[in-house]
Amino acid sequence: MAGIYIHVPFCSQFCTYCDFYSVKDTGKREAFTEAVIREAEFRKNYFKESGCRVKTIYFGGGTPSLLSPASFRAITESLFRLFNITDPSEIAEFTVEVNPDDATPEYLAALRSAGARRLSMGVQSFTDAHLKWMNRRHDSATALNAFRAAREAGFENISIDLIFGFADLTNEDWRNTLKKAVELSPEHISSYQLGIEPGTKLGRDYETGAYTPLPDDKSYTQYSLLQEVLSGAGYVQYEVSSFARPGREAKHNSSYWNHTPYLGLGPSAHSFNGSVRHFNPPSLAKYLKQTDWDSFAKNEKLSDRDLFNETVMLSLRRKEGLDKELLLTRYPEQLTSRFFSDAERLMALGELEESGGKIRIPSGKLFISDGIIRELFQ
């Protein structure tokens, strides 16, 4: 199973915390659409060597919902033609990220008509003061109305994003946001601890002392509350930041975690063919002018060590865990022997567990998974 990701770089305003590549020049949307189709034409044989069929399509950003329905249709029709997708039912998951502000009944109906069957809605919070601080375009009422409009438009698979672990978020506020999220009953919830990224407004505020991060112990309490509330509401945590109704796990994201080949189109988009990672420079201006796509993308040949460390990281972030047999059959003994020695030490500390041939991070330790995983890198 292969996936295609389209990075739509347009944003009408920048969120306080976001460091994803984006621009405010929305006047270039039609030119962007044409460029994506040109790049797709060039990359149409990307999966030929692996023999993988395209099964997922994901429009991310930026703010994909700033594209017109006509642009979605043009890009989608081109992808179907170029990657030999003869029947829409071949696509197991077709996701579009939407901002609640853009989710009008007319726009949502147009997205469904263009082929979208799953939405990822950037809600982030149901507290208006927090949304304003994040510099989000919507308020809580708009998010609630957008979700209901999506249901009325026929979307039966909706994911919402939520953020925790920032300075002004109290446990009471967080519980209230989780309560409202559960009441909506989305099929999927992704929830992330706020990160401080260089170059963002939040990053600059941190550097000047205008922002003080929430202490880790308080963030841990909020993460535990997230696990408790969503588990109690019938959601299954299948990855560090991902919760789903049974059978509604994100197929496209899972392809990343499984090291399945994927193709990224658009400025700053990344691709992976099984051994080499390709990535487009983060420049819309250069992207729009591009004719030599081969030299435009930068390539990174991954060594056995690189692939090993990625496999460890991506597997241990998932509740399914890391398959011991996969490591032993895929990677050199010099990597695996040291890994298993380190893993035994962490098991003795209660930071790893093993059952059924899989090594996992216990649920209560997932909040510190990054630190645990770093100790296992070779």
Angle subtended at Cα 23 by Cα 7 and Cα 29, rounded to the nearest 5 degrees = 65
Peptide bond into 62 cis (omega under 30): yes
For 243, the enclosing helix (H) or strand (E) is: strand 242-244
What is the number of residues in the chain? 378
The per-residue pLDDT for 49 is 81
Q: Residue 52: which pLDDT band, with cuts at 50, 70 and 90?
A: confident
User: Does one domain contain both 120 and 17?
Assistant: yes
CATH number (domain holding residue 341):
1.10.10
Q: What are phi and psi of 154, to 5 degrees?
A: 105, 5
Number of Cβ atoms within 10 Å of the Cβ of 113: 12
What mean pLDDT value characterizes the chain? 95
| pLDDT tens string 156-169 | 999 999 999 999 99
CATH number (domain holding residue 206):
3.20.20.70
What is the spatial distance between Cα 35 and Cα 289, in angstroms, rounded to a whole number? 8
The domain tally of the chain equals 2
What is the spatial distance between Cα 122 and Cα 190, in angstroms, rounded to a whole number? 10
User: pTM, whole model, 2 decimals?
Assistant: 0.95
* 348 has pLDDT over 90: yes
What is the spatial distance between Cα 52 and Cα 260, in angstroms, rounded to a whole number? 9
For 172, the enclosing helix (H) or strand (E) is: helix 171-184
Q: Residue 1: which pLDDT band, with cuts at 50, 70 and 90?
A: confident
The answer to whether residue 135 is domain-embedded is yes
Q: Residue 255: which pLDDT band, with cuts at 50, 70 and 90?
A: confident
The per-residue pLDDT for 115 is 93
**Of 280 and 50, more confident:** 280
Read off the amino acid at residue 187. Answer: E
| pLDDT tens string 190-199 | 999 999 999 9
Domain boundaries, position 313: 304-378
Three-state secondary structure call for residue 299: strand
Q: Do 8 and 61 form a contact (C-beta atoms < 8 A)? A: yes
What is the spatial distance between Cα 349 and Cα 351, in angstroms, rounded to a whole number? 6
* 257 has pLDDT over 90: no
The answer to whether residue 293 is domain-embedded is no
| pLDDT tens string 129-139 | 999 999 999 99
Q: Residue 215: which pLDDT band, with cuts at 50, 70 and 90?
A: very high
| pLDDT tens string 137-155 | 999 999 999 999 999 999 9
The per-residue pLDDT for 323 is 94
Q: Do 89 and 139 form a contact (C-beta atoms < 8 A)? A: no
Q: What is the DSSP letter of 303?
A: P
The stretch 76-99 carries a mean pLDDT of 95
User: Does one domain contain both 78 and 186?
Assistant: yes
User: Does one domain contain both 135 and 12?
Assistant: yes
What is the spatial distance between Cα 184 and Cα 160, in angstroms, rounded to a whole number? 10
The answer to whether residue 264 is domain-embedded is no
* 61 has pLDDT over 90: yes
* 170 has pLDDT over 90: yes
| pLDDT tens string 29-45 | 999 999 999 999 999 99
User: Does one domain contain both 250 and 309?
Assistant: no
The answer to whether residue 87 is domain-embedded is yes
Of 235, 256, 277, the position where a domain reaches its end is: 256
User: Does one domain contain both 57 and 200?
Assistant: yes
Categorise residue 181: left if φ over 0, alpha if ψ from -120 to 50, beta otherwise: alpha
Number of Cβ atoms within 10 Å of the Cβ of 206: 16
Q: Do 353 and 363 form a contact (C-beta atoms < 8 A)? A: no
User: Does one domain contain both 238 and 318?
Assistant: no
